[in-house]
Amino acid sequence: MTVRFDPEGRETLALSDLIDFAGRGVLEIGCGDGRLTWRYAAQARHVLAIDPFAPSIERARLALPHDLQERVEFHHIGFEEFASAARDSSFEAAIFSWSL
Amino acid sequence: MVHALEQIGRLLKADGILIDIQPRRETALGEVHQAGRVIFAEPFPDQEDSWEDIRHAQAAFSEAIGRGLLELEDHRDFDFVVYGDSTAELQEALEAASAYSTSVQDPDERLRWLAFAARVQEAAVSAGPGTQVAYREPVRMSRLRKPI
């Protein structure tokens, strides 16, 4: 058996209860290896997912499904650096994911 | 942290939504499962440090809400559970996913972590075949909105 994250789907259920991603441009902060990204990206208009941990971003890029390649971008960058260069009012939604 | 929330507020369009996913200040467990039942559970060692981080994060959110940067609308509480065949496999996967850092530097803390992992693994082995080890963390997912 391989390691299984949240096979009961509790996180996905909570997410779908709280937000409808349809038509939204999403910034995901602390995306890691894209584990959560895959669970909602197909519904969003566009996803920009960032993480300061390079190996995680590399795994996310390698695992990016073909049908999401036009919709999802992964960037190896910390949030502060990203935010300093990003324009105001760029996203309809943001996910601050396990990023204390 | 408040500065990060200010930046998120700036990047969101008016009426935009922030989903925040954070651990709750409750006990995370190492567990052993067999035939769909939890047959062993023990609190992770040294959780107080992460609880302090959570307390700071909660204070930052309270400040951001108090200043009108964001409005808290709703939340869901759930347990996030990760399963593996062994504590070593679980630890490696959690570290790789950046979901939980076990790169403990303090030698005493490191010893407590290793002893904890050994107890969970021993419980799994002694229970016989068909066991899984699991990491259970109480989580809160919140929806906040940038005011128009």
Instruction: State the CATH number of the domain containing residue A48.
Output: 3.40.50.150
Within-domain flag for A15:
no
Distance from CA of A72 to the nearest CA of B (A): 18
Q: What is chain A's mean pLDDT, rounded?
A: 93
Is the predicted pLDDT of residue A1 greater than 50, yes or no?
Answer: yes
A92 has a pLDDT exceeding 90: yes
Distance, CA of A33 to CA of A59 (rounded, Å) = 6
What is the domain extent for residue B39?
2-145
Contact A89 B13 (CB under 8 A): yes
Which positions of chain B have pLDDT values less than 50? 99-100, 102
Q: Decide if A16 contacts B94 (C-beta within 8 A).
A: no
Query: How high is the pLDDT of residue B94?
Result: 79
Out of B7, B81, B132, the one facing A6 most closely (by C-beta) is B81
Judge whether A2 lies within some domain: no
Q: Count how many domains chain B has.
A: 1
Residue A85: which domain range? 22-96
Whether residue A6 is contained in a domain is answered as no
According to the model, what pLDDT value does residue B90 have? 87
Domain for residue A10, yes or no?
no
Stretch A76-90: mean pLDDT: 94
- pLDDT of B100 reads 45
**Interatomic CA distance for residues A15 and A95, integer angstroms:** 10
Q: Tell me, yes or no, whether A47 lies in a domain.
A: yes
Residue with tokens 């790169």: B103
B86 CB burial (10 A radius; 0-12, 13-18, 19+): middle
Nearest CA-CA distance, residue A21 and chain B, Å: 10
Which residues 57-96 of B are in CB contact (within 8 Å) with A?
A: 57, 74-76, 78-85, 89-90, 93, 96
How many structural domains comprise chain A?
A: 1
End-to-end CA distance of chain A: 30
Is residue B105 left, alpha or beta, with left meaning phi > 0 and alpha meaning psi from -120 to 50?
A: alpha
In chain A, the residue whose alpha carbon lies closest to the alpha carbon of B15 is A92
